Amino acid sequence: MTMDNQQAHLLKSDFPILNTAYKGRKVVYLDSGATSQKPQVVIDAINQYYRLENANIHRGIYRLSETATRIWSEAHEVVARLIGAKAEEVIFTRNTTEALNLLSYTLLPLLQGRTEIVAGAMEHHANLVPWQQMAKRHGLTLKIIPMLADFTLDMTAAQQLIGSKTAIVAIGHVSNALGTIHDVHKLFAWAKALGALTVLDAAQSAPHLNLDVGKIGADFAALSAHKMLGPTGLGFLYGRRDLLEQMQPWQFGGDMIAEVSYDDAKWNELPMKFEAGTPHIAGAAGIVAAIGYLKSVGLEAIGAWEKELLKYAIAELGDVPGIKLYSAGEQRSAGILSFTLATVHPHDLASLLSDDEICVRAGHHCAMPLMGRLGVSATARASFYLYNTFEDVDMLKVGLIKAVELFG
Amino acid sequence: MDDVLSRQMYQENILEHYKKPQNFGHLAKPTHLYHSHNPLCGDDLTIEIAVVDGKVSDVRFSGVGCAISVASASMLTDEIKGKSVEAVMQMTKDDVLELLQIPIGPVRLKCALLSLETVQKAVGGGE
Ligand SMILES: Cc1ncc(COP(=O)(O)O)c(C=O)c1O
């Protein structure tokens, strides 16, 4: 299966928000890296859940509760299948951030006295600050793999940084700020050869490519439903079963226990051990529909189409006066393009584009250390998904030129 | 502010102040200095002020910012020269908006007000 511009137009019509005009203009949505839009099937699934299926899960001995419980566990199976895991290895969280925080609060007993955590220069704050703070709490050292001038990670330096003291290698698969796809295969192979744990921040990759945690060598992986056509408020942590079994829960309450007395408690089985309290059940209904939709188009086709769009955007936007692109090129990037204009600040640009209902992100993209490394305070970023078309890029270009002209 | 186009923020005088800001740079001997950060966009702004006899005798600003924040810093620093510290501390959001004379939506208000916040932290917070 491959995608083309015509199919992208067809897919766009499945997304109500992209077909709703505001003052006569439809939204040109180029901010899927922040969150994706939702197709009608996902909205319907959530709607149906609340209209016809709503009940709390696990302990209700009646039809509705059984239905809700089935939706909840089926969602685990669907997400697990998507990333090549088993259902009990997938813990439902609020988002990627919570999944990574969970790890930073529970991995200590598994570190075997090793003292170093390695992350990349382009990490989202969600895959940086939890490790930085864990390091501070426990006297560990956080080491950063530097970035090269071509916006890729310095793999030579990485190989030297990963050593016998390395406890954890935590890497964002795809940089949300620049779009670079990192060679996590290689990084994780080096880490595992030396006995380190591997953590994949898959927030920006799972929505756009076929992810197989086993093949990649990820002991843990974190992702968010809302970036892959699903609802906000739901995320996933994959963990290898033998590792999850050795870890202690970090939140306590209902559902995560097997047995409680006033003095003690025993933990429930995986994944419930890490799923305390009433979860986002409607979200589970939504993500099942979202993954169904993604699979019907094909993740490979989606990723390839986004590269097409990126290639087109690099070629088209390249001649806008004063533009600077921060991209490793479409071969080594996902559908994300970060740029600055010589005369227009990203923030002003985003405001001006908004007049034409063009949505881009402007700022530090939750990667402030990276912005420092790039020598800018902010960039503008366009990020693509399956519903974006060549015309969206054309509209962006027109908007950029208008902004440059206004600023003179 | 829903019906206001962003375009209307970028009036000639705003762009003028952005491209050629007043009071941009450093003072040899500031008595007060404050560094602020706009968490929304990562921009930063430093204000240096020389207070003599309870009055702002000179002021400079430096840093990077969008047109709205730079124009606002440029105009505000002009405005506070010669003013007493007390008067500066009493300035409000509306004073800044009056200087700018443009419609500003809620999202960009932070950019417009960063300079006033920073000035007030500088003179209000001692050295
Ligand atoms: C690479 C990366 N990691 C983590 C996150 C955090 O995701 P969430 O806000 O859903 O927790 C994001 C979201 O922008 C991201 O792009």
Query: What is the DSSP secondary structure assignment for residue A375, as one 8-state letter?
Result: T
Chain B residues closer than 8 Å to A344 by CB = 67
At which residue do the structure tokens 């600040």 appear?
Answer: A345
Sequence-distant (6+) residues with CB within 8 A of A156 are: none
Q: Which chain B residues touch A if contact means CB-CB below 8 Å? A: 5-7, 9-10, 15, 40-44, 64-68, 107-108, 111
Pairwise CB contact (< 8 Å): B5 & A355: yes
Secondary structure, 3-state, A244-308: HHHCCCCCCCCCCEEEECCCCEEECCCCHHHCCCCCCHHHHHHHHHHHHHHHHHCHHHHHHHHHH
User: Torsion-angle region of residue A151: left (phi > 0), alpha (psi -120 to 50) or beta?
Assistant: left
Report DSSP letters for A18-72, one per residue: GG-EETTEE-EE-BTTT-----HHHHHHHHHIIIII---SSS--SHHHHHHHHHH
Whether A366 is catalytic: yes
Chain B residues closer than 8 Å to A407 by CB = 10, 15, 67
Which is it for strands B32-38 and A116-120: parallel, antiparallel or unpaired?
unpaired
> Which of A148, A162, A118, A299 is CA-nearest to residue A223?
A299
Which CATH code for domain A5-30+299-407? Answer: 3.90.1150.10
Pairwise CB contact (< 8 Å): B10 & A352: yes
Cα–Cα distance for residue pair B6/A245, rounded to 1 Å: 54
At which residue do the structure tokens 């993604």 appear?
Answer: A294
Considering the domain A44-295, what is its CATH architecture?
3-Layer(aba) Sandwich (3.40)
Neighbours of A306 (CB within 10 A): 27
Cα–Cα distance for residue pair A353/A407, rounded to 1 Å: 13
Counted domains in chain B: 1
Cβ of residue A389 lying under 6 Å from some atom of ligand 1: no
**Average pLDDT, whole number, for chain A?**
97
pLDDT score of B105: 86
pLDDT digits (tens, 9 = 90+) for A42-63: 999 999 999 999 999 987 899 9
Cβ of residue A203 lying under 6 Å from some atom of ligand 1: yes
pLDDT score of B127: 44
Residue B60 belongs to what domain range?
2-123
Atom of ligand 1 nearest to the CA of A176: 16
CATH value at residue B26: 3.90.1010.10
Q: Which residue in B42, B44, B65 is closest to A363 by CB distance?
A: B42
Chain A residues closer than 8 Å to B66 by CB = 345-348
Going from the C-alpha of A164 to that of each of A112, A114, A116, A118, the distances in angstroms are 11, 8, 9, 12
Longest dimension (CA), chain A: 72
Q: Residues of chain B whose pLDDT is less than 70? A: 1-3, 40-42, 126-127
Give start-end residues of each CATH 3.40.640.10 domain in chain A.
44-295
Give start-end residues of each CATH 3.90.1150.10 domain in chain A.
5-30+299-407
CB A187 within 8 A of CB A217: no
Percent of chain A with pLDDT over 90: 97
Pairwise CB contact (< 8 Å): A345 & B65: yes
Cβ of residue A176 lying under 6 Å from some atom of ligand 1: yes
Going from the C-alpha of A277 to that of each of A94, A104, A225, the distances in angstroms are 12, 20, 19
pLDDT score of B61: 97
Out of A35, A36, A96, give the residue to mutate to test ligand 1, the one with the largest number of ligand atoms within 8 Å of its CB.
A96
CB A171 within 8 A of CB A162: no
Identified catalytic residue from A55, A366, A368, A376:
A366
- Tell me how close the Cα of A362 comes to any Cα of chain B, in angstroms: 7
pLDDT score of B37: 85
pLDDT score of B3: 63
- pTM, two decimals, is 0.95
Pairwise CB contact (< 8 Å): B42 & A351: no
- Tell me how close the Cα of A355 comes to any Cα of chain B, in angstroms: 6
Pairwise CB contact (< 8 Å): A363 & B40: yes
Query: What is the DSSP secondary structure assignment for residue A151, as one 8-state letter?
Result: S
CB A129 within 8 A of CB A123: no
Tokens of B3: 């019906």
Cα–Cα distance for residue pair A97/A233, rounded to 1 Å: 11
| Burial state string for A215-247 with b = 16 or more CB within 10 A and e = fewer than 16 | ebbbbbbbbbbbbbbbbbbbbbbbbbeebbeeb
Q: Residues of chain A whose pLDDT is less than 70? A: none
